[in-house]
Amino acid sequence: MRLRLAAAAALALTITACAPSTSAPSTAASDGGPRTGALKVWLFDEPNRGPKEAVIKEAVTEFTAAHPDTTVDVQYIAVDTRSERFKGAFNDPASAPDVVEYGNTDLPEYATAGGLADLGAVVSGWPEGADLTAEARASATYQGTLLGVPWYLGVRALYYRTDVFSELGLKPPATLAELTTTARAIRAARPELFGVAVGGKYTYGAMPFVWAHGGDLTSIDSAQSRAGLKAYTDLIAEDNCPPQNCADLTGGKTVELFASGKAAMGILGNFNRAAVDAGTAKGKYAVVPLPGVTAGSIAPAFAGGNNLGIMRNAQRPALAADFLTLLAGRKYQAKMYDAMGNLPTLKPASDEVAAKDTFVKPFIDTIGAGTRFVPLDPGWGKIDASAVLPTMIEKVATGKAGVDEATTEAAELIDEALTR
Amino acid sequence: MSRVRTRAPLWLLLPAAVVLGGLFLYPMYQLGLLSVLDFTQAQVSGGQPTRFVGAENYTRLLTDSRFWDVLLATVLFAAACVLATLAVGAGLAVLLTRVSRIPRLMLSLAAMAAWAVPAVSGSTTWMFLFDTDLGFVNQLFGIEGFNWLYDRYTAFGLVGAVVVWASFPFVMVTLYAGIEAVPKSVLEAAALDGAGTWRTFWQILVPILRPVLAIVVIQSIIWDFKVFTQIWVMTRGGGLAGQNLTLNVYAYQQAFASSEYGRGAAIGVVMMLILLAVTVVYLRALRRSGEQL
């Protein structure tokens, strides 16, 4: 009995003493922090990082020359585990970096966590800030606060094999319906090829079909969205890309298929150029915008891209702002295009790039035709993490559910995640 | 004097109590506490205040039809894995007692190797073997292009085989040690009385080994119910359209990948209660059959 009392007392003590850990966000140093010392920068690691690293080194040299007694400590973090790294940095201010690169779809999650600093003043005091388009600003704004500077854009368009098309006497498709018939014609004539590489886990390949039909993520069970989803899932079939092979493909896998010459078409990004050139498809492909429903229209693409931001816990916010504006400026945006194929967000930089390289034209045209974005809501992270859209596409593609049933189910999950 | 005597056990228990409390009670208390809070990344990093939500995490979970589907799949999958592990482990343990030294050594080494392989590497290797186009197995049977992970049941079958492959050595070694400890005289007496192999196994070995079997069964149930790595790696996070989700993967996907720690804690509590119930029922059944553990 005494033992039980002692145990109960010990337990009571523990209960009153311990609540789950929460770190209080420290406010940024109001005077802008020290102007000297080590600036900590996190950038994304890339499959082929060399060229990116060279450009960054150049920027660091320029920066340290203009800022005496400073060093810049650049860390390349893995994209797969970025979420854990950022959460860790939010929770432990002491280990947090000053300047960070982050994916634009991650913005709402980081914003609600209170991890990013308001860049409104920094951008309005930056001469090149005026060159940011309203769309680009909006993509980095959460609930009225600018929390990043868009650094580059990534959009997808239709890559096709010029040799296969000329051999079979085909033209690049002008509508999504033509895309389907072209893909089937290729598979019928060359059974070892997939007409167009599509995948059940390739959300950003599927969404343009939905958007082109007038649907959207927030109304995935509308008639328009269903028509778009059906157009996409009809491609995951024996006459183009058999479900056994394609139902669980990610976007990255479709890039591999196109690059290795196993698919005659693919919905790939401007940032996939290097991967395609490294494969057997090199020199035998061309790119057009992914067509829309009517001839001459372009299917709205997902406006992917990365922002540069400053952590709210940054030790040296003033120094961080100087480095950020240098890296996000026209000069280094153009250099990053040369190195990595990243599409610039500043109008002068993108004009410069378009003037000297015809490869970007279909992508610039796609952006010009209007792009779309995922809902700017922390619930999006949950939708993404719990694979709501891939599950929906795969259910239809494998015949586990009809389009209506799968979209109704997905719509419920999306509503639940966005309204909480 | 008598007061000191009654207090002495308390002091002696204290070190153990501190260790157990720190290692088990405190984390369990935290788990329970988180499960009644609205606790996401925003709360951890202090962007939003922590809010008490009572049973909301639980009601959302229990009214989620996907949770029940996944729970059913997990129970059936774990049950099949436990039975297969026990059958393979027990069969090979008996075999070990029958063969001579060299084959016994080889079998033990092979089993130990399977046991020692990290789950991620093991799963990946099996995936290479069963790859759709380039896999050794598909080439051997001439079925290139057959995707083992496309159908729900072949996918579960393949993952189950990997789970059994990684967990039978523990069963085999434990039972082998148990069988070796059975007095030879008992077995000789059974043989003299004319008992065959089958009968000796069920009526002599199994009753004597019951305590060892109990441990092996409970361990297997807990392991297989909590399977994560093999499903995560082999079916790429739950299979086509989530057809191969098990409870642990579901919890990770729904809660931790989405930073909804409160919800994840609720799933954790539910899993713990289920395992506790299974263990208690099993132990009671053992006691009723006259065996004291």
Is it the case that residue A61 has pLDDT exceeding 70? yes
Tokens of residue A173, six digits: 């498709």
Residue A16 inside a domain? The answer is no
Q: Are A23 and B46 in contact (CB under 8 A)?
A: yes
Residue A22 inside a domain? The answer is no
pLDDT band at A6 (very low <50, low <70, confident <90, very high): very low
Do A368 and A415 share a structural domain?
Answer: no
Do A139 and A109 share a structural domain?
Answer: yes
Residue A26 inside a domain? The answer is no
Do A132 and A279 share a structural domain?
Answer: no
pLDDT at site B5: 62
**Interface membership of B290 toward A (CB under 8 Å):** no
Phi, psi (rounded to 5 degrees) for A100: -135, 150
Q: Are A260 and A141 in contact (CB under 8 A)?
A: no
Do A323 and A365 share a structural domain?
Answer: yes
Report chain A residues whose CB lies below 8 A from the CB of B145: 244-245
pLDDT at site A29: 43
Report chain B residues whose CB lies below 8 A from the CB of A311: none
Using one digit for the tens of pLDDT, what is the confidence trace for A207-238? 999 999 999 999 999 999 999 999 999 999 99
Is it the case that residue A18 has pLDDT exceeding 60? no
Q: Are A267 and A232 in contact (CB under 8 A)?
A: no
What is the interface size between A and B, counted as CB pairs within 8 Å?
Answer: 119
Residue A28 inside a domain? The answer is no
Q: C-alpha distances in angstroms, B235 versus A385, A396, B148, B174? A: 16, 18, 10, 31
Q: Are A267 and A158 in contact (CB under 8 A)?
A: yes
Do A41 and A62 share a structural domain?
Answer: yes
Q: Are A398 and A247 in contact (CB under 8 A)?
A: yes
Domain boundary among A334, A355, A372: A372
% helix, strand, coil for chain B, step of 5: 75, 0, 20
Do A75 and A193 share a structural domain?
Answer: no
Alpha helix segments (H runs only) across A134-175? 134-139, 162-167
Phi, psi (rounded to 5 degrees) for A374: -75, 160
Decide: helix, strand or coil at residue B151. coil
**Interface membership of A21 toward B (CB under 8 Å):** yes
pLDDT at site B292: 55
**Interface membership of A385 toward B (CB under 8 Å):** yes
- Residue from the list B9, B17, B240 with its beta carbon closest to the beta carbon of A248: B240
How far is it, in rounded angstroms, from Cα B5 to Cα B28?
Answer: 33
How far is it, in rounded angstroms, from Cα B179 to Cα B82?
Answer: 20
Average pLDDT value for residue range A183-201: 94
Do A148 and A75 share a structural domain?
Answer: yes
What's the structural domain count of chain A? Answer: 2
Residue A9 inside a domain? The answer is no
Q: Are A254 and A263 in contact (CB under 8 A)?
A: yes
Task: Going from the first residue of chain B to its last (293 residues), give the mean pLDDT of each consecutive group of 10, the final group possibly shorter.
Answer: 67 88 88 86 73 86 89 94 95 91 92 91 92 86 86 94 94 92 88 86 86 88 91 87 90 80 89 89 76 55
Do A265 and A169 share a structural domain?
Answer: yes
Is it the case that residue A251 has pLDDT exceeding 80? yes
Using one digit for the tens of pLDDT, what is the confidence trace for A76-128? 998 877 888 888 888 887 888 999 999 988 898 888 888 899 999 899 889 99
Going by the DSSP 8-state scheme, the letter that residue A39 receives in this structure is: E
Do A205 and A129 share a structural domain?
Answer: no
Count CB neighbours of A322 within 10 A: 21
Residue A23 inside a domain? The answer is no
pLDDT band at A19 (very low <50, low <70, confident <90, very high): low
Do A103 and A62 share a structural domain?
Answer: yes
Do A128 and A54 share a structural domain?
Answer: yes
Domain boundary among A372, A394, A411: A372
- Give me the domains of chain B, ranges plus CATH numbers: 55-288 (1.10.3720.10)
- Asked if B260 and A382 come within 8 Å (Cβ–Cβ), the reply is yes
Is it the case that residue A260 has pLDDT exceeding 60? yes
Tokens of residue B192, six digits: 């003299």
Average pLDDT value for residue range A277-302: 93
**Interface membership of A22 toward B (CB under 8 Å):** yes
Q: Are A392 and A202 in contact (CB under 8 A)?
A: no
Tokens 């389009």, residue?
A: A403
- Asked if A400 and B10 come within 8 Å (Cβ–Cβ), the reply is no
Q: Which domain holds residue A286?
A: 156-301+377-419
Tokens 């919800």, residue?
A: B263
Residue A364 inside a domain? The answer is yes
Using one digit for the tens of pLDDT, what is the confidence trace for A371-417? 888 888 888 888 888 889 999 999 999 998 999 999 999 999 999 88
Residue A76 inside a domain? The answer is yes
Count CB neighbours of B278 within 10 A: 17
- Asked if B240 and A200 come within 8 Å (Cβ–Cβ), the reply is yes
pLDDT at site B3: 53
* Percent of residues, chain A, with pLDDT higher than 90: 53
Do A173 and A142 share a structural domain?
Answer: no
Residue A186 belongs to a domain with what CATH number? Answer: 3.40.190.10
Average pLDDT value for residue range A14-28: 50
**Interface membership of A5 toward B (CB under 8 Å):** no
